[in-house]
Structures are given as C-alpha cells and as structure tokens.
Structure 1
C-alpha cells in the first residue's frame, strides 16, 4: 500500500511557499448559486502566479532538492500549467529547467513557459507521450524529474490550497476539485480529512479522459480508453499510483463532465463571474451546473477554479458556441433573387425583427441554386431561443427558405 502524505507535510509546504504564492481569493457566486440552489463559492486559482495552482507543488518539490540535484537541473512534462509552474519555480531558485510539452500545447502556455526561462521541447501528440520522452531525458542526463502530480512533495504543495480554504471558509461543507492526474485532489483531501473530516470531497474529470472513476472502483490504476477533451490541462490518461491511493482512501467521489458542459461553464464564468477560466479549471463548475454534483443547501460549496491559461482563439470559439447554445447567436442560410435591392429588403426585415447582423456573405456557385438566385449566409445576434424561432417564422413567412448553416 502506498504511504499517504500527512498533514504536517502540507503545513511544511505552506511555510516553504510563504512569500512565493498568492493567497487567492474565494468569491461568492450568486449566479451559480441561484442556478443550483445553494451557497456556491469559487476558489480563484486562475489568479495565482503563472495562472494556476501548479506553482504550489512545483516550487515545494524543487525547494526540497539537494545541492547536487539542483546542479543537475530539473525536467518535467506538461500540457502547460505544470510547465509554467516548474519554469518559474526553477527560475526563482536558480535551477536550470527543461520542459517537454505535447506538440499541440496551446501557444500561450508554450510562450509563457519559455518566458519564465525554461528550455521547451515539443514532443508527442499527448501529455503521456511528452511524459515518456521527459523520463528518457532525465535518465540520459541525470536531471531530476519533477512529476506533475505523483510525488509526495507535489501533493504536499498542492495541499496548501486546502489549508487556505479552511482559513477562508471555516464552515466549508463541500469542495469540488478538478482532476487530471490527481495531485490537487490528493493534496486538498489530505488537508481537509485531517482537519475537517466531515467535509465532502468531490473530484471532477473530463469525460474524454476520465480514468479515476474506473480506477477507484477497481483498486488499481486503469488508463482511460480515450484522451480527447477541450480541457487539455486535465487530459491525463492514467492516474498516478500515489494520487489514486489518496483518492481511494480520502475522496468521496469522482465524477465526469463532457466538453459541452465544460464549455458552458467557461462562458458562464466569463459572463456572470467576470473570471477568465480555462476548460480544465471550469470542470468543477460544469459538474454543479449539470447536476453531477448536488449542492447541500445547508453549507457552502467551494469549487476550485484551478487555472486561467486559455488560448484566446479557444476562448473565442467557446464563447461563440456558448452563445449559440443559449440562442443568442445564430447562423442562417437562405436564398434571394439576384437583383438590385433584394439584400436590402432581407436586411430590413431582420432589422424589423430586432436581430443584429454581425456578418453577411454571398454565394453564387452553390449547386442547389437556381439560375438568378444568390445564397446569403447571415450571422446574427439574437435574444434567446424564442427570438430565433420568431425570426425563422418571419423569414419563412416572407418567402425566404431557410437551410441548415
């Protein structure tokens, strides 16, 4: 049986991190609370240095290296957040760092890691492939491998978030933690089980990479059959042996949410909480909104927003998708006669229906068009599903055929 980390190790990590990390705020979210029927609060690790909780564990791990290990340098593998945590932690402590990232890692995360002074190498299509290459590099060069989650010092460092929660929310009832490899979940569970054993601890994974539920049921690490999710920060195919041991003994449950639910959570946090959160960091909120985690109305539920390092292009895509789901953005395709004034007539009708036109394009070469017709693709801002239905009815009533965009 794996030896679990003790709360004293977490307290030691808290002392070692003093002056290094920020005590991130816990914010009430009335918007989410009203939707789920409870007191919901958000632990904003997206506002932590490097944009995620990962600096906690990385700095503590490197701080405990011997002088000889420091001289050899450190190496790690990461989809982005651990990379930045290791890069900054190494820089602050004067240690050379080499970071292996998947080839498709988000560019902002790659650039930030390099900006902190680490040497970045892009290897493999997934985190697990980058991890294998990083381990080979460590063996060949003698560099110290800084695991992203499966090490006692990493778990102890991440557990400092749990100590902060107890100081900030003394009457905490439930904590919801996003899960990739399980380091944050394990560390928070160590702190809470030792000091507040009555607190309910729930982990949340992305359904496209959800290895913990099956692994906890089987009592051994089982790889997820897929690693396909927009939440790249928690896209880990297999839990760590140590983190799994902590989860099985200390955690109440681990649930999974799909990408559509995660995207909705990202958009809601941006619009209602004014917080930029990456998909991995929004998984816990997605679990509340989808009903995967039921809120106890008698005590506060705290959700960890574990990171905010999102590619602006992905954020744009998620916002557009979220608005479409909510009926606030729609793309329609129709035809008009290819004669002067016809487009103006169509746009005037849209204006009468209070639809805001954000994009118009013409196509004359579509195979389904009759001679003398032009296809028009309209991108519209709307006010909800009822408005979209009324808009469709008005267009069809005026003789404009509508097709799937």
Structure 2
C-alpha cells in the first residue's frame, strides 16, 4: 500500500501528489476579489469540486504501487467524493462501486451513473450505506476510498496551495478554506504553512467538527445542523486535520448560516458565481483591513433555484 513519508502529511507528500496528478486535473483559476483579495475558482474542477484531486491521487498512487485490485474502487458517498471517485475510475478504466442510501436524490444517482459507476442503494441512512460498502470491500477485495479521512486524499487536495500562490502577484497573508471532515483543510494548510502563509479554517456555527475538536483537544463527535451540511456535515474531523489545526498560523472561525446564505447570494449577484453552501462558508469570512487573502471556492454542485436559502 502507498505510504506517506511521515505519520502525518508533509509538504513532500503534497509535492508527490502534484507530480502524480499533473495533466489529469484542471489547474485552478484565480480571480481578483474585493479589496486586494483573490478567489480560487476550484469549483471549475472536474466533477465540480476539489475532490477530484484527492480521488485521482488515491487511484494513481495505488496503481503505481500495484495495490489497485481488479475489482476496482468502492466508496460510500452520494456527494462530491462519490462523484470524484467515479470520475477518476472512469478516466482510467477502473470499476467503481458507489453505495448510497435508498433516500438519495435521484439526480445524484443519475449523475454517478453518467460516470459509469455501479450504484448500490442500501438502507435509508448513510450509516447503512457505509456498512454495506465496508462489507463489499471485505468480500470482493475492492479498494475502499474515503471522502476525506485518508492521507492520499488530503495530499491531493493540498496541491491547490502551490497553484494558488503561483498565480497571486505579491504573495498572500492568508488562505481561507471551509472545513467539513478536514481533507481539504489538512492538505492546503500543510502546504501553506510551509510557505509562511496563514490559514483560516471556516465552519458553520452548527457544523463545527474541527472547532469542537480544538476545544476538546481531541477528535470528538459533534451534531450536524447547518444549511451547508450536505458538504460540510462530517460529524467528526480527521486526526490529521486536528494535528494541522493545532499548529501556529491556523485560525478556526465559525460563521452563522445567515452569513453563508448572504455570501452565496453575494457571489451570484456581484459575480454570477453559483457555488454550493460549502464554498460560500469560506467566502463568509471577513478579512482584517489590509489582509491579503485568497478564498478557496471549493465546489458548485448546486442548483440556481435555492440561491437565497
């Protein structure tokens, strides 16, 4: 199995991921924002979110090491991670089996199938789908992926940082990212801190897995009740994300759902950018006067009909 160079993520792991996925993903576009800020338009990535980076890194790393089985990949996710896993598998002729609850929106099921994934609907809760995915991996030999809690997934997400910094003239003070389970944050922050750039980790007030872990000093289960829960609704953050968040140069910020909704509507009204609530969560951060920031707009798998809610 592919190994990282240390128990936790290192800049070298992210550099290896960048070399591995080069030519397979879309380099991020960075656009000017307001008052010297910048917007990293990662929602333009394959499958509509940053998840494509980690999924591609995960698949290619296992292929390189000879640990990618003929039975392919499997994951329990009807969201961005599932789409990314199915896309990466299709790009390399690998089987993908995605587990979802029977209550999953038909539009998500249909989109997964457009990527050639085998979709299995199990139970009415994601816990049941996850359990079925684990059983399938054990019985079939398929390689189980994860939405965020895997070092190869986080390393892939971290490839964003260098792309952003190389596109911003004059440098940055701060990178701003939203946090769910912490894969994007762990990767981006590891690379940013190495370059002397601070990181702000933004979560909804009632969807605060990282913030709660920092308060407790350990990973804890948290309730999930936010408009952004479809993407940021992990009940617990990864251990890697917590370890990175405890380093100097990282700030944890909470924003109310009302601010997320307003930020999302502002992006549409002022820039005609239709992003999902997870991306708007990061945009809800208010920089200090003179702070040079880049906000990662991480995904846009959303509809135009709900921009005001």
> Does the aligned pair in 1 maintain the 2:207–2:229 contact within 8 Å?
no
The number of residue pairs the alignment matches comes to 301
Q: Tell me what 1:229 maps to.
A: 227
Q: Tell me what 1:81 maps to.
A: 80
- Go from structure 1 to structure 2 and tell me whether the alpha carbon gap of 1:107 and 1:269 turns closer, same or farther (over 3 Å shift): farther
Q: Tell me what 1:51 maps to.
A: 48
- CA–CA separation in structure 1 for the residues paired with 2:132 and 2:241: 22
Unaligned runs of 5+ in 1: 289-294, 322-405
Q: Tell me what 2:204 maps to.
A: 206
Q: Tell me what 1:298 maps to.
A: 290
> Does the aligned pair in 2 maintain the 1:90–1:97 contact within 8 Å?
yes
Displacement of 1:79 after TM fit?
A: 4.0
> Does the aligned pair in 1 maintain the 2:69–2:141 contact within 8 Å?
no
Deviations 1:125-178 (A, max 9, x none): 565554343223222322111111111111111110011111112511111101
- CA–CA separation in structure 1 for the residues paired with 2:47 and 2:191: 23
Unaligned runs of 5+ in 2: 1-5
Displacement of 1:95 after TM fit?
A: 1.3
Displacement of 1:69 after TM fit?
A: 2.6
- CA–CA separation in structure 1 for the residues paired with 2:88 and 2:126: 21
Residue 38 (structure 2) pairs with residue 41 (structure 1): yes
Displacement of 1:11 after TM fit?
A: 1.0
Displacement of 1:250 after TM fit?
A: 6.0
- CA–CA separation in structure 2 for the residues paired with 1:123 and 1:236: 20
Give the match's secondary structure for 1:100: strand
Q: Tell me what 1:193 maps to.
A: 193
- CA–CA separation in structure 2 for the residues paired with 1:99 and 1:124: 14
Q: Tell me what 1:91 maps to.
A: 90
Q: Residues 233-382 of structure 1 correspond to what in structure 2 (within 5 A)?
A: 233-249=231-247, 252-288=250-286, 295-310=287-302, 312=303, 315-319=304-308, 321=309
> Does the aligned pair in 2 maintain the 1:207–1:229 contact within 8 Å?
no
Structure 2 residue corresponding to 1:6, chosen from 10, 13, 21: 10
- CA–CA separation in structure 2 for the residues paired with 1:222 and 1:152: 19
- CA–CA separation in structure 1 for the residues paired with 2:225 and 2:248: 26
- CA–CA separation in structure 1 for the residues paired with 2:126 and 2:192: 29
Rg (Cα) greater in structure: 1
- CA–CA separation in structure 2 for the residues paired with 1:129 and 1:256: 30
Q: Tell me what 2:3 maps to.
A: none
Structure 2 residue corresponding to 1:60, chosen from 57, 61, 66: 57
- CA–CA separation in structure 1 for the residues paired with 2:106 and 2:259: 24
- Go from structure 1 to structure 2 and tell me whether the alpha carbon gap of 1:71 and 1:251 turns closer, same or farther (over 3 Å shift): farther
Q: Tell me what 1:136 maps to.
A: 135
- CA–CA separation in structure 2 for the residues paired with 1:185 and 1:165: 14
Displacement of 1:105 after TM fit?
A: 4.2
TM-score (norm 1): 0.69
Relative contact order (alpha carbons < 8 A, sep ≥ 6): 1 or 2 greater? 2
Displacement of 1:206 after TM fit?
A: 2.4
- Go from structure 1 to structure 2 and tell me whether the alpha carbon gap of 1:133 and 1:260 turns closer, same or farther (over 3 Å shift): farther
Give the match's secondary structure for 1:86: helix
- CA–CA separation in structure 1 for the residues paired with 2:183 and 2:284: 20
Alignment RMSD? 2.1
Deviations 1:226-267 (A, max 9, x none): 344344111111112222222223661222223222222221
Residue 159 (structure 2) pairs with residue 160 (structure 1): yes
Displacement of 1:73 after TM fit?
A: 1.2
- Go from structure 1 to structure 2 and tell me whether the alpha carbon gap of 1:161 and 1:180 turns closer, same or farther (over 3 Å shift): same
> Does the aligned pair in 1 maintain the 2:224–2:234 contact within 8 Å?
no
Give the match's secondary structure for 1:98: strand
